[in-house]
Amino acid sequence: MRYSFDVLIVGSGLAGLTTALYLAEQRQVGIITKRALLDGASDWAQGGIAAVLASEDSIEAHVQDTLIAGAGLCNEAVTRHVVSHGPEMIQWLIDQGVAFTRDANHATGYHLTREGGHNQRRVIHAADATGHAVQTTLIERVKAHPNITLLEQHIAVDLITDAKLGRVGKRCYGLYALNKVDGHVVTIAADSTVLASGGTGKVYLYTTNPDVATGDGVAMAWRAGCQVANMEFIQFHPTCLYHPHAKSFLITEAVRGEGGLLKLPDGTRFMPEHDARAELAPRDVVARAIDFEMKKRGLDCVYLDISHQPAAFVREHFPTIYERCLALGIDITKQAIPVVPAAHYSCGGVLTDLDARTAVAQLYAVGEVACTGLHGANRLASNSLLECLVFGRAAAEDILQHPVSTLPALPDWDESRVTDADEEIVISHNWDELRRFMWDYVGIVRTNKRLERALHRIQLLTGEIDEYYKNFRVSNDLLELRNLVLTAELIVRCAVLRHESRGLHFSRDYPHLLAHAENTVLTP
């Protein structure tokens, strides 16, 4: 099976859908997604989108909050560019029909909440399920558009580049993808390809991310010749629900923004001892504080308590969290919520410019897969969806500047020298080992020895996986594992190069901050 599009978008999160909708009036667009359209991190986003909407707020204040959270590594020009376009992108979502939570008493007409690291209420939201409200609205638009073709249950195998075609140059022509329904690899040609494939959270044992977050875009871009940057900066969200039946359920930052307090099992607070901003400190500070208290006291979890707020207030502001916790026997209007840190967001990724272009011609990266310079060493809460919107539009606008070119003939995927896998158990064992040692050795607190151990194990796993990949037909699990182990290697290699503690990267061997902030850039 073969497909051909003017633009191919890999991923169906907010970044991908935004790009598609801005392109669709003038281009034939294809979207491939590993599972169904809603099965990504954007749909899980609870808190909201940060943008300057209130008269008492300012672009400068949002910029400064972002720069402070980013610990000296944010690109200030990129930060100003993104923040300044925030209000118009929110208006675009409203025009698409997104039903943000209203507040008749606020001049904007909308309720704005405040999250850690923000000095103003500037997070617009749809109760505590903002991502779902945005995604379902945009998916309706995408499905209704005649120029957009949706290929669900298709996982990308690898990008098709000049190198793969034996040509001189560094250009992308589309990709190969596995149709998970019939098991065949299809060829998808495209004049422009946009990676909007999300993050890398499943490289860790504990994560708030959906199962699809396996670093596919970063790994494919690296194999295609793109630079990656700042992969050591993995944001661990401080408050993931701790419960045996609550896999990956996030307790939004906004709970602390609306007065939630972090407590030890005996009910005493501990954040004021770690930071003057207490519960409203940036995520890296809060995650390290919780990690410290848990290890110091031998705790399985700590507790987030918002039960001192009126019950009606809690149910109105956090209906999704209230219902989910209640189903597990926790009434958050009366009880504290057991929480632990979990891998949440990758601030690094494929290096791009302001137009979302990578080092490979006609290959773009938008959303969490990209490293744009906005987040620096630590992402400010609710800036991620804003980045998806601004760079999704930027990629579309750049693509529309150029006419569609004629593509060379692309060869079909060659399966002539492979057989069906004999033992799938190899994949599941390697997957489990990778995620466990990444959690143990490359987690919230790192050391040189831990990083060395992780890199050694990654090298052993890489050899096994490469041999498996060469000899057996590809499967969804094999492709994800192949991408995960490469992503893990890039994370560790970046971490080894950073001889300081900055933002989300904390090393016991290098506990101090260097005077000059530098990005960690890897080149294939």
**pLDDT, tens digit (0-9, with 9 covering 90-100), for 86-114:** 999 999 999 999 999 999 989 999 999 99
- In 3D space, the residue among 100, 145, 144, 141 whose CA is nearest the CA of residue 124 turns out to be 100
Q: Per-residue confidence at 44, pLDDT binned at 50, 70, 90?
A: confident
Average of per-residue pLDDT across 13-36: 97
Is the per-residue pLDDT at 167 higher than 90?
yes
User: What is the CB neighbour count within 10 angstroms for residue 58?
Assistant: 14
Per-residue burial over 352-378, b if 16 or more Cβ lie within 10 Å, else e, is bebebbbbbebbbbbbbbbbbbbbbbb
Asked if the model's pLDDT at residue 422 lies above 80, the reply is: no
Closest CA to 134 of 93, 194, 177: 93
Determine how β-strand 261-263 pairs with β-strand 302-305: antiparallel
Other Cβ atoms within 10 Å of 308 Cβ, number: 10
The full set of domain ranges for the chain reads 2-232+347-400, 239-341
* Residue 454 scores a pLDDT above 80: yes
Side-by-side strand order, sheet with 521-522: 370-371, 349-351, 228-229, 521-522
Of 440 and 452, more confident: 452
Give the distance, in angstroms, between the CA of residue 9 and the centroid of all CA atoms in the same chain.
16
pLDDT the model gives residue 364: 99
Measured on CA atoms in the order 277, 278, 280, 285, is the torsion positive or negative?
Answer: positive
Query: Is 461 within 8 Å of 430 (Cβ atoms)?
Result: yes
SS3 of residue 240 by DSSP: strand
For the chain, the residue count is 524
Class of the CATH-defined domain 239-341: alpha beta
154: its two tokens: 């298709």
Q: How confident is the model at residue 276 (pLDDT cuts 50, 70, 90)?
A: very high
Q: Is 36 helix (H, G, I), strand (E, B) or coil?
A: coil
- What's the pLDDT at 150? 98
Which of 158, 67, 100 is closest to 373 using CA atoms?
67
Instruction: Express as a percent the part of the chain with pLDDT over 90.
Output: 86
Question: How many percent of the chain have pLDDT more than 70?
Answer: 100
Distance CA 437, CA 452 (A): 11
Q: What proportions of the chain, in percent to the nearest 5, are helix, strand and coil? A: 40, 20, 40
Which are the catalytic amino acids?
283
Distances (CA, A) of 222 to 356, 370, 420, 467: 16, 12, 27, 19
Closest CA to 281 of 240, 234, 336, 238: 238
Question: The whole model's pTM is what?
Answer: 0.92
Q: Which two tokens stand for residue 353?
A: 């410019």
Q: Which amino acid is at 473?
A: R
271/173 Cα distance (integer angstroms): 51
Question: Which pLDDT tens digit goes with each residue over 300-356?
Answer: 899 999 999 999 999 999 999 999 999 999 999 999 999 999 999 999 999 999 999
Section 428-457 average pLDDT: 94
Report CA-CA distances (Å) from 240 to 3, 151, 244. Answer: 41, 32, 12
- Once rounded to an integer, what is the mean pLDDT over residues 264-274? 97
What's the pLDDT band for 119 if we cut at 50, 70, 90?
Answer: very high
Instruction: Please report which confidence band the pLDDT of residue 420 belongs to, taking 50, 70 and 90 as the band edges.
Output: confident
In this model, does residue 247 exceed pLDDT 80?
no
Confidence of residue 39 (pLDDT cuts 50, 70, 90): confident
Tokens of 274: 């770690």
- Angstrom distance (rounded) from CA 436 to CA 21: 39
CA distance 7 to 310: 50
- Please measure the distance between the N-terminal and C-terminal CA atoms of the chain and give it in whole angstroms: 31
Rounded to whole angstroms, the Cα distance separating 186 from 70 reads 41
Q: From CA 433, how far away is CA 78, in angstroms rounded?
A: 38
Q: In the predicted model, what is the mean pLDDT of residues 136-165?
A: 97
pLDDT of residue 455: 98
Beta-strand relationship, 363-365 and 185-195: parallel
Specify the CATH number of the domain 2-232+347-400.
3.50.50.60
pLDDT at 387 > cutoff 90: yes
User: How much is the mean pLDDT over the chain?
Assistant: 95
| Continuous segment of H or E residues that includes residue 455 | helix 448-471
